[in-house]
Amino acid sequence: MDMTKIPARQGVYNVESYEKVREGFDWNEIKKEFSWYETGKINAAYEAIDKHAKNPMMKDKTALIYSAPDREESITFEQLSKRSNQVANVLKKYNVAKGDRVFLFMPRSPEFYASFFAILKIGAIAGPLFEAFMEQAVRDRLEDSEATMLITTPGLLERVPVDELPALKQVVLVGDGEIDTERYIHFNKEVADASESFDIEWVDLEDGMLIHYTSGSTGKPKGVYHVHNAMIQHYATGKWVIDLKEDDVYWCTADPGWVTGTSYGIFAPWLNGVTNVIRGGRFTPESWYETLEKNKVTVWYTAPTALRKFVSAGEELVKQYDFSHLRHIMSVGEPLNPEVITWAQRVLNLRIHDTWWMTETGAMLIVNLPCMEVRPGSMGKPIPGIEAAIVDNEGNELPPNQMGNLAIRKGWPSMMRAIWNNPGKYESYFINGWYVSGDSAYMDEDGYFWFQGRLDDVINTSGERVGPFEVESKLIEHEAVGEAGVIGKPDPERGEIIKAFITLNPGYEATDELLEDIRLFVKKGLSAHAAPREIEITESIPKTRSGKIMRRLLKSWELGLPTGDTSTLEE
Ligand code: WTA
């Protein structure tokens, strides 16, 4: 079989023809499916949950199947609506108001999802934080967003420098243990006493909904700000790309601390009224296969890193499970290896559909619709309503097969509307009417886009975006470290691993213990995924005359490549 082009399987898809759905496309048509069309107002929490809870045909349908090693729970749309109303009443009691930033720092759990919708129901802005973040990562995000409330657990509280965050007025603790109610709000107790009805705050399409922090080449993490309008695209891509239908059981494996875990772990499935599986706990191939089998998952959205681990785990393991209900798989976050697609064809008799997008874009932009021919290695084509191109540094379009900046015509529903507190950074994304992604790619004659790499120094390790600056800043806080330069080093399983080059301060000797201590220092300060897997000691770190670390040069050294233009290198 020719694996360079895999035809679509026979089947009934929500979109039958790529060309047809793009023809005369208008986002406003989709808005008509929401309350906004009648009232001019909207709330994504209403559209995702309350609307179904009010529908007699839908209210008892399972919205959420929660499955963790120590807890299993099924929750209907009506129950999720009532629980989020209860939390919303608690937030209101403590004076949370429209536009306030309320951050969530806890593992995936039913309480997380009820709280997330509660924040939206108030008209406040949700800021979900990845549960593995350590103190510095938490501090940076709460400081920058000036969050006034944090919902967390007693176990994670020690990573929150509560007394050093002047804007943070209230901390809510979710858990059953002893809670100091003088200082903290006792979630379980307060919620149990709260009313199950709540008057939702109707907002404008352009009102704030969500902030996700993400990393760039330089500086601290940036707060990518999204508005309720984004749900239009979450809903539409849920229909077209995820191909969600009434009876689907859908599982998105991403954590809601990252954008995939909200756009496609929350909005897309629930806006489409579909049963959504949420799995807590750690990844192992066995436990994930079990989740697919036990819940009879039909549609699965995951990441290349996980898929590569399944491939390594072997075909024998696959044969121990029943995946007969699975009909559609998608991937995001990193380049999807053609070998993985070939593997899934052979072992599962299913294609894997790559999708491309970013925290900043809020939703899928370049995809493989189920009805399309899949070309392994390509990210696919732009969704309806989206114009994508390859442009040069001035924002001029380049012809097919030429490599350049992957760019999207500015102004789609889920596009970020700001970088929190940083208008200059926001403006810098746009050139000549294009949003310039920072990814390099080319487009073939048939309009398929092919990813080539990042144009900046952002590292993508196991699908997680890490900014080298953050890691370097943490490294030099260690007493033994003088200077540090951090790069992504290609890795067959993780895509890239983090490699740090450091100089040692006088009096320190390069021992294995010291290197391990430095690694742990970053892990404990930032998070496990940001800790360098490799540390190399050098005499000096190459810098430009203006003092910028030349990571490009470090990378060339690492890979044994020609070093290119070094004219700006400091003496
Ligand atoms: C990379 C995740 C290759 C890319 C939703 C992008 C991809 C960054 C793909 C965004 C893909 C995402 N193929 N690379 N299909 N999808 N990327 O913000 O470099 O965590 O710029 O958003 O991941 O990562 P982020």
From the CA of 306, how far away is ligand 1's center (Å)?
15
Average pLDDT, integer, range 252-258: 97
* CA–CA dist 241, 260 (Å, integer): 14
**Tens of pLDDT, residues 285-299:** 999 999 999 999 999
Candidates 78, 35, 83; CA nearest to 53 is: 78
Read off the pLDDT band of 568 (50, 70, 90).
low
Q: Which H helix or E strand runs over 266? A: none
- Identify the pLDDT of residue 359: 98
Assigned domain for 323 exists: no
Read off the pLDDT band of 561 (50, 70, 90).
confident
**Tens of pLDDT, residues 205-248:** 999 999 999 998 888 899 999 999 999 999 999 999 999 999 99
Burial category of 225 from C-beta neighbours within 10 Å (exposed 0-12, middle 13-18, buried 19 and up): buried
Higher pLDDT, 3 or 312: 312
Higher pLDDT, 543 or 501: 501
Which amino acid, residue 301?
Y
What is the widest separation between alpha-carbon atoms in the chain? 74
- Identify the pLDDT of residue 281: 85
pLDDT at 536 over 90: yes
Assigned domain for 97 exists: no
pLDDT at 162 over 90: yes
**Tens of pLDDT, residues 330-353:** 999 999 999 999 999 999 999 999
**Tens of pLDDT, residues 260-292:** 999 999 999 999 999 999 998 889 999 999 999
How many other β-carbons are positioned within 10 Å of the β-carbon of residue 316?
Answer: 7
Assigned domain for 194 exists: no
Assigned domain for 490 exists: yes
**Mean residue pLDDT across the chain:** 95
Whether 464 contacts 470, CB under 8 Å: no
- Identify the pLDDT of residue 367: 98
Assigned domain for 389 exists: no
- Residue to mutate, 258, 264, 357, ligand 1, most ligand atoms under 8 Å from C-beta: 357
Assigned domain for 545 exists: yes
Read off the pLDDT band of 178 (50, 70, 90).
confident
> Does the beta carbon of 101 sit less than 6 angstroms from any atom of ligand 1?
no
328: β partners: 299
Higher pLDDT, 562 or 335: 335
Ligand 1 atom closest to Cα of 263?
5
Assigned domain for 154 exists: no
Q: What is the DSSP string of 444-484?
A: -TTS-EEEEEESSS-EEETTEEE-HHHHHHHHTTSTTEEEE
Q: What is the DSSP string of 514-564?
A: HHHHHHHHHHHHT-GGGS-SEEEE-S---BBTTS-B-HHHHHHHHHT----
436: β partners: 407
Whether 502 contacts 465, CB under 8 Å: no
Q: Show the DSSP H helices in 334-467 as ranges.
A: 338-347, 423-427
pLDDT at 571 over 60: no
Whether 496 contacts 558, CB under 8 Å: no
Q: What is the DSSP string of 11-37?
A: ---S---HHHHHTT--HHHHHTTSTHH
Q: What percent of the chain has pLDDT over 90?
A: 92
Residue with CA closest to ligand 1 atom 14: 334
- Residue to mutate, 331, 358, 461, 496, ligand 1, most ligand atoms under 8 Å from C-beta: 358
What is the span of the domain harbouring residue 504? 458-559
Residue that has been written with the tokens 């963790």 in this structure? 68
From the CA of 356, how far away is ligand 1's center (Å)?
6
> Does the beta carbon of 454 sit less than 6 angstroms from any atom of ligand 1?
yes
Assigned domain for 569 exists: no
- Give me the CATH number covering residue 522: 3.30.300.30
> Does the beta carbon of 152 sit less than 6 angstroms from any atom of ligand 1?
no
**Tens of pLDDT, residues 68-85:** 989 999 999 999 999 999
Read off the pLDDT band of 544 (50, 70, 90).
confident
- Identify the pLDDT of residue 341: 96
User: What's the number of domains the chain is made of?
Assistant: 1
